[in-house]
Amino acid sequence: MSKTKKLSKVFDYFKDEDPFSGGLTLCPGCPLELLLRFTARVLGKEIVFVGTPSCSATVLYGQNTRSWHKLAYYSCLMTGVASSATGIARYYRKLGKDITVVAFTGDGCSADIGFQPLSGAAERNENFIYITYDNEGYMNTGIQKSSTTPVGARTSTTPVGETRRGNPNPGKNMPLLMAMHKIPYAATATLSHLDDLAKKLVKAKEKKNEGLAYVHVYSPCPTGWGFDSDLSIAICRLAVQTNYFPLWEAERGRFRFTRKTAKPKPLKDLIKLIGKFSHFTDEDLIVLEKEVEERYQLIEGMARTWPLNA
């Protein structure tokens, strides 16, 4: 049997070597680890990361005078990420130097405590890239609910018991909220579709010259959600295939899908793999299905009414 030995074209997106240390303090199978290394390789070694206390901080920040990676970075509190990125970007703009500032946070920062400065930076169209890795909760501090935690999910602050059954609220549609600021670029991406992710990172880097570029990456957490570490990528893929996490991009309020699933798989295929939904009854599933359906239809409607031509 002859096999054609052909490397995936995704490798062509890599501009530089992986600037991170070989051994990082992230859980086995963590999509965030893949995202960090992948982003750095695609965007290149001249970027400045802006990070905050989170799972990513354990590798973005140094420890005393030593570092986990070779890149310039700025660490700040969750309240200050988008505003700190603004300060750096603005000063370099004054100097006339084109630099790439990459604010890199979890959903807890971008959707909750850091939302105000992010929204402000988006409204002012500041020139930087903001990447959210959405693991649907505050993972580093112990799996607490955030405002992107899906309805019904079990977290340590929305437990399942006598008086309650998980998260009562459907959560914020964060990427759509950002797209509604009419920023030059807003997109969703995930770690199973690396070609799509790479394209979006490259586009974000180009679009940040016009204003804020926002990329929202679905990043399942094996430790926090309760699934085996080898399923991380498979869960990303299922999230796309069930329309739970559709892949789209928007430029100044005009939308298009970058991947459309002709026959979406049933949501149950995704839910049954994830421990934080293990308490789900049929009714719980219907509630989540409805939410997923509505979100998808919303994007579909936007793409139809204000299409972004490829």
Region binding another protein by CB under 8 A among candidate stretches 36-44, 156-164, 238-246, 276-284: 36-44
The contact pattern for another protein, residues 57-76, with x = CB under 8 A and - = no contact, is: x---xxxxxxxxxxxxxxxx
Is 96 one of the binding residues for another protein (CB under 8 A)?
Answer: no
Instruction: Determine if 7 is a binding residue for another protein (CB under 8 A).
Output: yes
Question: Among all chains, which residue has been given the structure tokens 């920040």?
Answer: 61
Q: Which range in 8-16, 139-147, 160-168, 288-296 contacts another protein by CB under 8 A?
A: 8-16
Please report, as a single letter, which amino acid is at residue 59.
Answer: V
Alpha helices in 12-168 (DSSP H): 31-43, 57-60, 81-94, 107, 115-123
Footprint (CB under 8 A) of another protein, residues 105-134: 116-117, 119-120, 123-124
Structure tokens at 283: 């009714």
For 243, residues 6+ apart whose C-beta sits below 8 A from its C-beta are 261, 264, 292, 293, 296
Amino acid at 279: H
Site string for another protein, 247-286 (x = CB under 8 A): ----------------------------------------
Closest CB 24 distance from another protein, rounded Å: 7
CB of 278 to another protein, least distance (A): 21
Specify whether the CB–CB gap between 106 and 138 falls below 8 A: yes
Site for another protein in 198-257 (CB under 8 A): 228-234
For residue 149, give the amino acid letter.
T
Alpha helices in 98-220 (DSSP H): 107, 115-123, 174-179, 194-207
Q: Total number of residues binding another protein (CB under 8 A)? A: 79
